[in-house]
Amino acid sequence: MFSRDVLDALVAAANANATVFQRSHPMTAAIGAAYGWSDAQIDAFFRTAARITVTVH
């Protein structure tokens, strides 16, 4: 199992240029499992993230 720091770095590298994150993508399940998250926790993460708005000035 990877350390939390290694997982954080892998996730950041994999998503550095991502503009879309798909709940149904196999990588989402893999990352969630690596962090020890249940499907319900991943779903909650996506519901929370959907409420984020970004304002560019």
pLDDT per residue as tens digits for the range 21-38: 889 988 888 888 888 999
Q: Where are the domains positioned within the chain?
A: 4-49
| Interatomic CA distance for residues 7 and 35, integer angstroms | 8
CA quadruple 10, 16, 20, 25: dihedral, nearest 10: -20
What does the block give as tokens for 5?
């720091």
pLDDT at 6: 64
Cβ contacts of 29 within 8 Å, gap of 6 or more: 42
Say what the pTM is: 0.64
Helix (H, G, I), strand (E, B) or coil at 14: helix
- Mean pLDDT, the chain, rounded, equals 81
